[in-house]
Amino acid sequence: MPASTTQTTPTAHTNCFGLATEQTLLKQRLFMVSGQQCRALLELLDQPPQANAGLERLFSKNAPWEQ
- Asked if the model's pLDDT at residue 1 lies above 50, the reply is no
Q: What's the Cα-to-Cα distance from 32 to each of 2, 27, 28, 29, 43, rounded to whole Å?
A: 39, 14, 11, 10, 17
Tell if the pTM clears 0.85, that is, is over it.
no
**Res 46: pLDDT:** 95
Higher-pLDDT residue of 18, 5: 18
pLDDT tens figures, 7-64: 555 545 556 667 888 888 778 777 788 999 999 999 999 999 899 999 999 999 998 8
3-state secondary structure the chain: CCCCCCCCCCCCCCCHHHHHHHHHHHHCCCCCCCHHHHHHHHHHHHCCCCCCHHHHHHHHCCCHHHC
pLDDT of residue 10: 52
